[in-house]
Amino acid sequence: MQVGVDIKHTWRGDLVIDLVAPDGSTYRMKSSSSNDSADNVITTYTVNASTEVANGTWKLKVQDVARYDTGYIDSWKLTF
């Protein structure tokens, strides 16, 4: 599946991004990286969730693992 994200953030290396399936399984799409000081995460990730049932509530979990910088999820979408 494809997961498109548009996350505004002042230091994208602070972010950890996971896709959470309806059964609670998580799929890591982005780990934090102290070397990535650029702004924003605007990209599409490919996730192999072929063992999951498509029906149900999928969630995007975004964690800011550092202090000082701020951001928000502008949009995201799933394409099966």
Query: Residues 51-64: pLDDT tens digits?
Result: 998 999 999 999 99
- Cβ within 8 Å of residue 53, ≥6 positions away: 22, 23
d(CA 47, CA 31): 14
- 49 belongs to a structural domain: yes
Residue 33: which of 8, 6, 11, 18 has the closest Cα? Answer: 11
Query: Residues 15-66: pLDDT tens digits?
Result: 999 999 999 999 999 999 999 999 999 999 999 999 998 999 999 999 999 9
CATH number of domain containing 50: 2.60.120.260
What is the pTM for the complete model shown? 0.94
- 20 belongs to a structural domain: yes
- Cβ within 8 Å of residue 37, ≥6 positions away: 11, 13
Give me the domain span that covers residue 44. 2-67
CA 73 and chain centroid, separation: 9
- Structural domain count of the chain: 1
